[in-house]
Structure 1
Amino acid sequence: MEYSTPPEGATETKTRARRRRWPLALLPAAVALELAVAASPPLVERLYSQSLYRVVSAMFAASFGRVSFSAGETLLWTAVGGAAAWTVRRLRRVVRARGRRRAVLVSTLADAWAAAGAVYLAFVILWGLNYRRPPYAVLAGLDARPATVAELTAVCERLIRETNDARDKLPEDAAGVARLADGRPGALRRAPAGYGAAARIEPVLAGASAPAKPVMVSTVLSYLGISGIFSPFTGEANVNMTLPDPDVPFAACHELAHARGFAREDEANYVGYLACTCHPDPDFRYSGRLAASVYAMNELARVDREGHARLEARRAPGVRRDLAALAAWAERYRGPAERVSRAVNNAYLKSQGQEEGVRSYGRMVDLLIAEERARLTAGRRRGSE
């Protein structure tokens, strides 16, 4: 029997078809990887967050930490411009492909799907798996059970007292608002110092991180209601430079918490607060406590309005001026863009397992209360010795 070989052109066509098909599997592969590891957070912690990601973040800090501008922001705007140009070019091809429009459209959608898959798989591998690590409360051994109103009130009282004390003697601007002595860029350079001290208290916070970076188009972020953004593709913490001075240190430490591998927003808030309170500089200690007091007091207002009003009256005049400046900043940029951005962020957070979406930022209060429980327990133990 004689066997015939397929024509050379047919073989090349099949090979080319296979090469075009495998990129389509990147997005399902990324989703499958996330679902597979979600069942075993301790394994993610051991093999990824405390091993592979440590290597990745150290490489990012050593490379991108040497440049003063945000490589991540540059990459973002380059990608946006490239994607827009590609979309226009491919749409023109679809319009001009008379008789072949369906084939060209399918090819365009397939290429877009493949590109999205490549980007998302890179996101998952470079940083996104940190969403699947155990909660910070588990890693730090904190008791994060639901709180009572009395516990929440006690935390608010402590935070207001500490915030008032930390505000004393800070430099002010002409309007009486707390001022960063070396300006916002200086604060970004100083931000990592808090993590060195915090890691001595909680070793899980150890790791490499470069100084936070200023966002070049901060006004755009302001209208989107965003105080900072973390780039998972460069490991950079980027901060909105239009923020009032009292909020800049906390915003920087929040984004650096993401760089340390804490992806969930409530945990990044708490870790950022902890880094601020451990920082050697008073403006950072104040900023962290101010932010924590705002989150805690907002939670108290939901369950005890009278108690909230009573404690709010205890704030020092300087603290009130700072809060008024923060409120004025938010009001200045509030609008449709901010609402759309909030909806998009809400959907993104829910897709990453944070069921409360943007409300998860306020869940840091659970960790503040858990910290208070640990503090009280330690005090009782010392008293009984």
Structure 2
Amino acid sequence: MQKINRKYILPLFLLVQIVVVKTLGRFPAFIEEYYSKGWYEKIAWFNRTVFGSIPFSFGDIIYSVLIILLIRWIWMNRKGFFKNWKTNGLTVLSWISVFYFFFHVLWGMNYYRIPLHEKLNIEKEYTEEELIAFTEKMIAKTNALQLQLSGNDSTAVNVPYSNEEIFELAQNGYKNLPQALQEFQYENKSIKPSLLRYLLSYMGFGGYLNPFTNEAQVNTLKPNFTLPMTTCHEMGHQVGIGSESECNFIGFVTATHNEDLYFQYSAYSIITRYCLANLEQIEEGKGKLYFEKLNKGVVKNYDEHEAFWEKYHTPIDTFFEFFYNNFLKANQQEGIVSYSKFVGLAIGFERVDSVQ
């Protein structure tokens, strides 16, 4: 029997992995019990214990080294790169195979756990009337907090904390989680300002979870009124939530349950933006009607946010938006649009909570 050439082993293993992952993904209850609440909790605890004590982002260092090695490999093989397409293609597939394996073993299978709306027994869909009522409530909350924090309705909110203080305070919201969400308690802080924050800005990312070290990376270049909510969102990924809409929801709940008013303002102001965008999708001009009800200080914060992303807008972030959109779709999500879906979770959770 002829032996398989070693250069084919990892590419073939990639195909096997894809089949196994997609097959197991059809059994969310199995993933929930044995991966998310079993293996993942143990490996996440270990990684956050090890890497959380390191004062800088170890995961960013790993990525930086890998990027340098990739550039070096491309440069070394630039001559005849496409002529040797078979060898080079197998090399690329081998590295993808290794990445795919560790990604899913260390974190990625959380994409396939039981959806949060099923656990909470809530309906994600909502009527236009419910969205309008919720939007008005969020606007009232946002305006009240802006006025309280700024002293007048025309001054933008500026969070007076250092990055480390924000990371420390973020844990308090997870300690105050409602009973229905108690399983997402957070332990062993491992939250870092990303060393690659300029790159993240050009890519259009406010933060990310490093699945290999379980460090939550926050893009601290962003306007600081957004950082509390962003931090709580990335911590959601750390406690085993894969879905972006669910992480936005958990980020919103933990930030609003934080006793710190700056955290509450960050959450309410951000969900209000999503509500207005969703109203605009229903009918052009509808979101604008409610936008005009916001205090001028809130609008200044929104302008600050828009100006930041406009500053870093290049074809690079357009490419990564396309790439990440398809990555999410490949992992049981609805693409970039899934971020806004957390409004439905928030409305549904409030609907159930008001009945109880």
Instruction: Calculate the TM-score normalised by the size of structure 2.
Output: 0.92
Counterparts in 2 of 1:315 and 1:368: CA distance versus 1, 3 Å: same
Query: What's the RMSD between the two structures over aligned residues?
Result: 2.3
Q: Give the superposition deviation at 1:47.
A: 0.7
**Per-residue CA distance 1:261-283 (angstroms, 9 max, x = gap):** 11111111111111111112111
Assess, with a 3 A threshold, how the Cα gap between structure 1 residues 322 and 69 changes in structure 2: closer, same or farther: same
The CA deviation at 1:21 is 3.9
1:363 aligns with 2:341: yes
Matched, 1:108 2:88: yes
2:259 aligned with 1:272, yes or no? no
The aligned amino acid for 2:35 is Y
| Number of residues of Structure 1 aligned to a counterpart in Structure 2 | 354
> TM-score, structure 1 length as denominator?
0.85
Matched residue, 1:3: none
Is 1:119 the counterpart of 2:138? The answer is no
Task: Give the superposition deviation at 1:335.
Answer: 2.4
Which deviations, in whole Å up to 9, do the C-alpha atoms of 1:27-60 show, x marking residues without a partner?
1132112111121111110111111111111111
Residue of structure 2 equivalent to 1:67: 54
Matched, 1:133 2:120: no
2:197 is matched with 218
Counterparts of 1:24 and 1:306, CA distance in 2: 51
- Which runs of 5 or more structure 2 residues have no equivalent in the other structure? none
Closer/same/farther in 2, CA of residues 21 and 147 from structure 1, 3 Å limit: same
| 2:10 corresponds to which of 23, 47, 57 | 23
Written as runs of structure 1 = structure 2, the 5 A alignment for 1:283-302 is: 283-302=262-281
CA deviations over 1:301-350 (Å, ceiling 9, x no partner): 22245653332222123212211211221222222222112111111111
Corresponding residue for 2:221? 242
> Alignment partner of 1:169: what SS?
helix
Q: Identify the residue that residue 309 of structure 1 maps to in structure 2.
A: 288
**8 A Cα contact 2:10 2:97, kept in partner:** yes
Structure-2 separation of matches of 1:224 and 1:86? 23
Aligned to 1:56: 43
What letter is aligned with 1:360?
Answer: S
Q: Tell me, what secondary structure is at the counterpart of 1:213?
A: strand
Alignment deviations for residues 72-106 of structure 1 (CA, whole Å, 9 cap, x no partner): 111111111112222333445x57xxxxx97x653
Q: C-alpha distance in 2, partners of 1:72/1:257?
A: 18
Question: 1 CA distance for matches of 2:7 and 2:316?
Answer: 38
CA distance in 2, matches of 1:159, 1:209: 32
Amino acid at match of 1:370: G
Contact 1:206 1:260 in 2 (8 A): yes
Sort the Cα spacing of 1:176 and 1:184 in 2 relative to 1 into closer, same or farther, 3 A. Answer: farther
Deviation at 1:217, TM superposition (A): 2.8
Name the aligned partner's letter for residue 125 of structure 1.
Answer: V
Unaligned runs of 5+ in 1: 1-10, 96-100, 379-385
Amino acid aligned to 1:54: E
Alignment of 1:26-41 (within 5 A): 26-41=13-28
Deviation at 1:139, TM superposition (A): 1.7
- CA-to-aligned-CA distance 1:107-144 (integer Å, 9 cap, x gap): 33323221210111110111111111111111222222
1:86 maps to which residue?
73
Which one has a bigger Cα radius of gyration? 1
Answer 1 or 2: higher relative contact order, Cα 8 Å, separation at least 6: 2
2:299 counterpart residue number:
320
Residues 153 and 307 of structure 1 are in contact (CA less than 8 Å); yes or no, is this contact kept in structure 2? no
